[in-house]
Structure 1
């Protein structure tokens, strides 16, 4: 009765076997980058396989990521009535299974979002499916019920980096986008190519470090209304990274229908960071790797590289009594570019932001409206 369950689980992993060698087909064993921009729930690559072709129900692959949450792969039978998902949640392996109306959700094993390559192996042991991590047992799922029907014929659909069912069908909701790579798969002895709807697929970086990488092609927009912060007294924004290695607009704030309120930019040539606030310019000459800005009711306080400065609204007449914090509540924050109707490509940020915080909370660019070129959780070394 349980033969089809491990078959569904292990067969889904076959999607991870293939590298990128063309616009519409995926084949080989090269690395596959899961963070390809698309509708966040849509698969990166997909295929349909006849169940009679399966001869091996054991598969393995390597995964590397700093991203704590996202989908790795999906598989189903009966045109989506029975399905399986492997993902990460809080950096830990996360499985969801639906079989003949029986729903199972299991989270467990070691954290995998440490930026190192981890070998994952999925195999069947009777009524149990075992996910091995780096040679040790990481997560075990048991599924048995009189209601479960054995699947012996038909097709199995596979999808990498997305799902083929409505997201409301899932047992537990999660953020699907995954800044991760997979490689060196061994998959059920199948050798047919996979299909993709993407015009092109991005390669994996050879080596990575934590952060968000901006290649100078676009920006990410965060709506301050979803940050759930307390604007009564002040708003604090903190940025980490090697500012001497950045070039372009790091951050900008704009209220819809009005002129730009604030912008922060860096020059790789001059090694200077420039802060623009309502027509006033402040230059930060020292090299530093952390910048903290606190917008208050009557001032802007800036801390960087052991230095501290304060700009009072009395010194900035356009801001005096202008209700800056109320404006912030209605504004958009652009990370990596100058927000406005006439964006200039040369002003987009080139560089790595190791971390961005607003009111002490990390900003996850997977939840922002970001350009396809931006990697949310990893920077190339």
Structure 2
């Protein structure tokens, strides 16, 4: 599996590469787990061996080298050994017998049966690679020709939406570790949106959808920021043109007994909420069939183009929880302001 590459990611979990020799019972995996480099392999008794190394998900470029030395597999990061794993006897025998080596980058093998206990999708960027000392010029060409796979020069936290894509998440999966109890007499919830729209972008940032696929609560951009609840405009706010903001905006939304409170920049507003609306919202919030849409809403229209980060109850929503997600969405990284503008200009040409 001797390989070398540079990697940059903010994603806390996903596969860097997977390889096997001769059989699916003889494999090696290099991945990211909880922000750390992670290597896995399997021995003769099907025991999976896991070794964790250095922090990898800090958004900085790192040089990674994978090599086999003295019956072991070594993974170096920045020239220092980060992971060392013993190679199984079966693997050595297969190698001596000239078994077929296969490599999958950013995924497991198609139609494979191996469960590695990870979310395989990794939002990251690779460059200057040398995969098992083989010619990979075709792969290099395909990446350069693909907008969805091209690396940005600079990245920051958040999720990037290309203006033609939506992510749909089960609401209960999002709320699983958050403190929301319907029977609590002081029931409330908070939503925080940090977003950077591409120039001229309009569309839905955030929507709560009921089991009948009707949008109950949404925040959208249409020249100004608009809050809809049960089909009615509940509030709106002006998008700041302050040059110091560099096009970035922050919205805080608090729903509590009998009222909505909305704050964006220096603007604040409080809207009354009757008991029937509150009970309806509570029931949607706790229903297993409810969905959270990001970057759009049901019906395939009003897509948002730009960067977005959503917090519910103060916790960042992990877009990788989506049951439906367009391949053009970057779950854990956003380009710089200038790169958003340049991309939007290229789209309009």
**Superposition TM-score, scaled by structure 2 size:** 0.79
1:177 aligned partner: 121
1:370 aligned partner: 325
2:157 aligned partner: 210
Shift of 1:104: 4.4
Corresponding residue pairs, total: 312
Q: Alpha carbons of 1:147 and 1:366: their partners in 2 closer, same or farther (altered >3 Å)?
A: closer
Shift of 1:376: 0.6
- Give the 5 Å matches for 1:164-243: 164=109, 169-170=114-115, 173-191=117-135, 201=146, 202-207=148-153, 208-226=155-173, 227-228=175-176, 229=178, 230-232=180-182, 233-242=187-196
Shift of 1:254: 2.0
Q: In structure 1, how many angstroms separate the alpha carbons of the residues matched to 2:278 and 2:62?
A: 55
CA deviation string 1:195-248 (max 9, x = no partner): 8xx9x8533233222211111101111111222242421222111234696532
Q: Alpha carbons of 1:138 and 1:192: their partners in 2 closer, same or farther (altered >3 Å)?
A: closer
Shift of 1:115: 1.9
Alpha-carbon contact 2:254-2:261 (below 8 Å) kept: yes
Q: Alpha carbons of 1:291 and 1:122: their partners in 2 closer, same or farther (altered >3 Å)?
A: same
- Give the 5 Å matches for 1:36-47: none
Secondary structure of the structure 1 residue equivalent to 2:55? coil
Q: Alpha carbons of 1:96 and 1:216: their partners in 2 closer, same or farther (altered >3 Å)?
A: same
Q: Unaligned stretches of 5+ in structure 2?
A: 241-247, 337-349
**Residue among 34, 38, 60 paired with 1:94:** 38
Q: Alpha carbons of 1:258 and 1:71: their partners in 2 closer, same or farther (altered >3 Å)?
A: closer
Q: In structure 1, how many angstroms separate the alpha carbons of the residues matched to 2:12 and 2:291?
A: 25
**Residue among 79, 94, 99 paired with 1:154:** 99
2:282 aligned partner: 325
- Give the 5 Å matches for 1:56-95: 59-95=3-39
Task: Kindly indicate whether residue 272 of structure 2 is the aligned counterpart of residue 312 of structure 1.
Answer: yes
Secondary structure of the structure 2 residue equivalent to 1:325? helix
**Superposition TM-score, scaled by structure 1 size:** 0.73
Q: Unaligned stretches of 5+ in structure 1?
A: 1-8, 11-58
1:282 aligned partner: 235
Q: In structure 1, how many angstroms separate the alpha carbons of the residues matched to 2:90 and 2:135?
A: 35
Shift of 1:192: 6.7
Shift of 1:84: 0.6
Q: In structure 1, how many angstroms separate the alpha carbons of the residues matched to 2:111 and 2:130?
A: 29
Q: Alpha carbons of 1:221 and 1:192: their partners in 2 closer, same or farther (altered >3 Å)?
A: closer
Q: Alpha carbons of 1:321 and 1:219: their partners in 2 closer, same or farther (altered >3 Å)?
A: closer
